[in-house]
Structures are given as structure tokens and as C-alpha cells.
Amino acid sequence: MAGIMNKLKKLDAYPKINEDFYSRTLSGGIITIVSSVVMLLLFFSELQLYLHASTETKLVVDTSRGGTLRINFDITFPHLACSILSVDAMDVSGEEHLDVKHDIFKKRVDAHGNVIESRKDGIGAPKIEKPLQRHGGRLKHNEEYCGSCYGAEEADDDCCNSCDEVHHAYKKRGWGLPYLDLIDQCKREGFLQQIKDEEGEGCNIYGSLEINKVAGNFHFAPGKSFQQSNVHVHDFLASFPKDSYNLSHKINRLAFGDYFPGAMNPLDSAEWTQEQPNGMFQYFIKVVPTVYTDVTGHTIQSNQFSVTEHFKAAEVGQLQSLPAVYFFYDLSPIKVTFTEQHVSFLHFLTNVCAIVGGAFAVAGMFDSFIYHGQKAIKRKIELGKLS
């Protein structure tokens, strides 16, 4: 047994030196303190990296098909009243959503940005309950009168008992609306009066759109929209006659999909001021599908985007283009994946050993250099060779 113990002693890679042979110096003490502080700082830095998850980023080809895309927005138009502001969405597949009201909310704001009224989207005053006039000499629904559709009826017994129903009938025909002061329903409902009451006000419109996951656009414009000869048209000239529309706006928030940690939306808090009477604001957006997976395995399907801005001015005295704020978006074929993961304990232990050993070795070499340098200088002084 003693022989085995002696052989193990010979394998000792750390031979012990008798304390009588140690020589302790002031420089060595200072270097020890400094190296210890450095080792502690590096250790806590590595410990922080170990306790917090790191994020791995990858780029892959997006092979997903179909699905929908949710657009969340919050935009303020300080010089455009809520009564005349509408939102439309359309895509390259031919699907259109005109005058969207579902999941859309509006806040009337004054010139200072203070909220006057908040309501679910709906342009115009509430429908009246009483019938307006006899239409075609006929009585319907228990002797109730039937409102005229002003030539847009598809059948003799069609009725338009509200301003919105007249709008709908004209849109189905692909016709532009006549002036609202010629429509009894709109006058009876106080539609024009509401527009006058909101003159000089602004509008904060917010909500979400659920659209097909293909390229397309959505836009905010004055007036109601309809299709005429396969052309998208707004009736802002007939419904809300004005020489110009101020579409200055501030984008409080615009996001394609749900929020995920570290998400950056470049149009948040962006603000544009219109300096010309009429024109079209255009945002060209490239949407990048993004998948975020946290340390628990929970996955968030979302999107990031980049954007280019442009303003297209209308010709002087003419409205050649629709005064609106357009968001044109296209989808990138590349998907970004973010994956959160913790560093393994073995990796942490390896880094800690490297920190301690590396700092100790560097400090030892530095101390040895100073110690032997001092001895060499002292020897030359004693021999009188250092002048």
C-alpha cells in the first residue's frame, strides 16, 4: 500500500514549495488584488449570461401556405373628421373589404388632441325608426312606407329606409352617390349636420384587419368606397365636397401580427405633415414572417417589416389621385426564427474554469516579469553598470 501511495505522489503535477523559500513582494500583492477583482467581474458576467436565456437567430425559406395576416394599427388624423374617414383593404387575389367597420374604433379629437367622443366605427347618424316616404305607391310591412333608393332599386319593392341603405344600393350598382343634401334619408338622419358639427375636428382610428396572407394594400381616405367598372372609387366629392383634404397624420402604432420580445416596428410614432393641398401618402412595406420561441417552448407567429415612404402630390387645381394614406405591403419569402435557450451548466463551468485559470496565468506572468525586472535593475545598480 505504501508503494502505491509513493507512486501517486510522483504523479503530483502541483509540487508544494516550502514556505521558507517564498518571497512575497508589494507588486505581487497589488497584482493579486487586481487579478482577483478581474476574475470576480468576469465570473459574475458569465453567471449573468448563464442565468439569462440567449437568443439564436436563423433565416429559413418560408414554406407556409395560405393563412391570414392580422394588421394592428392606431393612427391619428388631426385634420380629418371621423364622420368622413373610412378604411378599405384589398389584395392581389381580388378580395376586397370596402368601408371596413368590424374591429374598427374611432375617437373624435380636438385640435389639441383631446378625446371628444369614442365609439365603435359607424359613419353617419343612427337609423331613424319612422318611414320617410311612400315609394312606388305601395305599402309594405303592416302599412309602413318604403323609402326610395333614388333609381338604384333592383326590384320595384326594394326599399332604402336609411342613408346607409341608399349608399349600399348605389355601391351595388357601381354608381357614385349624388350630393347628400339631395337624399331625404341622409337629411332626416342628420348626416350632413353631423359632418358640420365635426368640422375642424380630428380622428384617432384604431383596431385590426384580418386579411389574406398575400400582397395587397389598405388605405384610409375620406368618403365611402365602391367599385365602378372594376375601378376602386371613393365618393368624397359628392358626399363631402371640399377643395382639399388635409391628410396629415401620426402613426401611433402599426404592427403585422402579435408582439414578441424585441419586436421593432419602424413606423411607430412616425408623423407626416401635408404641405400641399391634396395628395397621396404612400408606404411601401416588406413584411418578413417571424417565429419567436421562448425558453418554455411557447411559439409566437408574427412578422417584422421594413418600409419606404413617398408622397405623391396631385396636380394644381385637380384631384388626379385619391387623397388617401396608402399602405402597400408585400411578403418576403424568407422567414426569421428566434429561439431562446439557456447555456448548459457544463458550458458555464468550462467558461468559469477558463476565466480563473486564464486570469491566474496572465497575472503570474505579469508578476514574474516585474519581479525579475526589478532584480535585474537592482543587480546593475549594485555593480555600478546603471548610470
Measured in whole angstroms, how far is the alpha carbon of residue 52 from the centre of its chain? Answer: 26
Residue type, 165: E
The CA–CA distances, whole Å, from 14 to 11, 21, 36 equal 9, 16, 21
208 with 287, same domain: the answer is: yes
Q: Does 274 share its domain with 224?
A: yes
Which pLDDT score, from 0 to 100, does residue 6 have? 75
* pLDDT at residue 220 tops 80: yes
Same domain, 218 and 108: yes
Mean pLDDT of 142-169: 75
Q: Given this model, what pLDDT does residue 302 score?
A: 93
CA neighbor of 310 nearest in space, from 331, 332, 288, 326: 326
Same domain, 241 and 321: yes
Q: Are 264 and 375 in a shared domain?
A: no
Domain identity same for 273 and 305 = yes
**Which tops the pLDDT comparison, 222 or 238?**
222
Domain co-membership, 353 together with 334: no
Stronger pLDDT, 314 or 20, i.e. the higher one? 314
Indicate whether 259 belongs to any domain: yes
* Residue numbers of the domain that contains 28: 20-53+343-383
C-alpha cell at position 68: 391570414
pLDDT given at position 177:
65
In this structure, the answer to whether residues 260 and 375 fall within a common structural domain is no
Asked if residue 295 and residue 234 are part of one domain, the reply reads yes
Q: Residue 295 carries which side chain, given as an amino acid letter?
A: V
Across the range 197-213, mean pLDDT stands at: 87
Q: What is the pLDDT of residues 6-54, one digit of tens each?
A: 776 666 555 666 656 666 777 778 888 888 888 899 888 888 888 887 7
The number of domains in the chain is 2
Separation of CA 2 from chain center:
75
Instruction: Tell whether 220 and 298 lie within a shared domain.
Output: yes
Q: Domain check: are 244 and 366 in the same one? A: no
Bigger pLDDT: 95 vs 17: 95
Residue 286 placed within a domain: yes
CA–CA gap between residue 278 and residue 163 (Å, rounded): 28
Paired with 119 in beta bridges are 106
Q: What pLDDT score does 187 carry? A: 73
- The reply to whether 178 falls in a domain is no
The pLDDT > 90 percentage for the chain reads 24
Is residue 161 one of the residues assigned to a domain? no
Measured in whole angstroms, the distance separating CA 373 from the mean position of its chain's CA atoms is 62
Cα–Cα distance for residue pair 299/321, rounded to 1 Å: 43
Q: What is the pLDDT of residue 315?
A: 65
Q: Provide mean pLDDT across the span 159-179.
A: 74
* Mean of pLDDT values over 132-151: 56
Averaged pLDDT score across all residues of the chain: 79
305, 321, 340 - which closes a domain = 340
**Residue pair 194/83 in contact by the 8 Å Cβ criterion:** yes
pTM, full prediction: 0.67
Highest mean pLDDT among 148-152, 251-255, 275-279, 382-386: 251-255
- pLDDT, mean of residues 224-245: 61
Tell me, what's the pLDDT at 130? Answer: 44
For residue 145, is it within any domain? no
Predicted pLDDT at 128: 42
Q: Is residue 76 part of a domain?
A: yes
pLDDT, tens digit, 9 for 90 and up, residues 364-380? 888 788 877 877 888 87
pLDDT tops 60 at residue 316: no
- 313 part of a folded domain: yes
- The stretch 342-363 carries a mean pLDDT of 85
- Asked whether residue 372 is domain-assigned, the answer is yes
User: Is residue 218 domain-shared with residue 291, that is, in the same domain?
Assistant: yes
| pLDDT tens-digit series, residues 48-91 | 888 887 788 899 999 888 788 999 999 999 988 888 888 999 99
